[in-house]
Amino acid sequence: MSVTIKDIARESGVSYSTVSKALNNSPLVKPETKKKVLETANMLGYTPNFAAKNLVSKKSRTIGLVWPAIDRIALTALVSKINELVTAENYFMILSVDEADKAIGMFIGFQVDGVMIFEEGRETMLHSDVFSSIPILSYGVSGDHVYPIIDVNHKKAIHLAVSHLIELGHSSLSYIGDATPGDKRQTEKLNGFYEAMENAGLTVHENSIGNTKGLSWYDGYLAAKELLKTSKPTALISGSYDISVGVLRAAKELKIRIPEDLSVISYDNIPQMASLETELTSVGVPIEQLAEKMVTSLLSLIEHPDSINLTQLMEPKLALRKSAKSLQKHL
């Protein structure tokens, strides 16, 4: 049986409504009373009951984050950053690794004020009544969604990568990534590649596209092995962090040195890029920017429920590391 404000009230000889006020730092209570109450509260080891609190206030100052794919490590840094920002705004954040539907149901039950979804691959279809009952923001894929989305200009990102490689003197470029039709985010990247190549007047040979058919490192590994055996590009763009991990592994097995024999640029602008055996040059939106945008967007959605907040496209940047090298030097 945990201690409640009534216990504090009894112990400190005031009414429990006074205790409530004192605990909430109301100006309506005499400083010394407040002090005494706080002391006995502390002494008794009081912890407020959110269930009761939320029940009456209809607010929890908590946001829920739906993150089913924790094994895809590309997002951990983003999660940490978001938690930081949310904390700074005096909110709590709780995570769920369940599927979106289940997680959101739970969050609503717990009376969170808003939820963020990390969508992976195909868009999560939510029951239409869900997003009407609570502010929802997704780090996901633009489309005809009913809830607002923070998305990345994927095409632009790939354009950046292609341009950089061309500047380095490459003309034989390959792309490796998931081309499963249902996954808009991934197909955007692939389309961006075709587009950028065409703009540059370069042709894309059929066997210079590697379809991983999945997003795990192993998918990347298999596809990279296939690709690097049949085709001999001087530069390769990889669709995600995890896929890049597979590419590195494949290259190693095939005794292809990076960047000496092959320049690689990876999608996903995250710190982990620097901790790979070969530091990967990458393109993507820096996570600080993403985090900032997501938090401010969701909080404004919570605090001004009327604010119409549609899809927002974030601008990617190129992060230079050690996996892409000028071709000239090695001619």
Partner DNA sequence: TTGTAGGCGTTATCAT
Partner DNA sequence: ATGATAACGCCTACAA
Per the structure block, which two tokens stand in for 162? 């292609």
Name which position in 218, 222, 288, 311 contacts its own copies (CB under 8 A). 218
Contact code string over 108-127 relative to its own copies, x by CB under 8 A: xxxx---------------x
323 binds, among its own copies, DNA, none (CB under 5 to 8 A by kind): none
Q: Report the C-alpha gap between 96 and 67 in whole angstroms.
A: 6
Residue 95 contact partner, candidates its own copies, DNA, none, CB within 5 to 8 A by sort of partner: its own copies
Residue among 43 and 320 whose Cβ is closer to DNA: 43
In the complex, the smallest distance separating the C-beta of residue 252 from its own copies, rounded to whole angstroms, is: 5
What is the torsional sign of CA 289, 295, 298, 302? negative
> Contacting its own copies (CB under 8 A), which of 83, 208, 282, 309?
83
Of 12 and 240, nearer to DNA (C-beta) is 12
Choose between 111 and 238: whose C-beta lies nearer to DNA: 111
User: Considering only CA atoms, which of 282, 242, 289, 286 is closest in space to residue 74?
Assistant: 242
Q: Which is nearer to its own copies, 208 or 282 (CB)?
A: 282
Q: Does 97 engage in binding with its own copies (CB under 8 A)?
A: yes
Q: Cα separation of 158 and 118, whole Å?
A: 21
The Cα–Cα gap between 166 and 305 comes to 46
> How would DSSP label each residue in 14-62?
S-HHHHHHHHTT-TTS-HHHHHHHHHHHHHHT----HHHHHHHHS---E
Q: In whole angstroms, give the CA distance from residue 198 to residue 204.
A: 8
Enumerate binding residues for DNA (CB under 7 A).
Answer: 1-2, 4-6, 13-18, 20-21, 23-24, 27-30, 33, 46, 48-49, 51-53, 55-58
Largest Cα span, the chain: 87
User: Which residue in 76, 171, 180, 312 binds its own copies (CB under 8 A)?
Assistant: 76
Angle made by CA atoms 182, 184, 187, in degrees to the nearest 5 = 95
Rule CB under 8 A: is residue 25 a binding residue for its own copies?
Answer: no
- Please give the backbone phi and psi of residue 282, each rounded to the nearest 5 degrees, phi first: -145, 165
Contacts with its own copies, residue ranges (CB under 8 A) = 2, 45, 47-55, 60, 62, 70-71, 73, 76-77, 79-80, 83, 87, 92-98, 105-106, 108-111, 127, 129, 133, 217-218, 245-246, 248-249, 252, 275-278
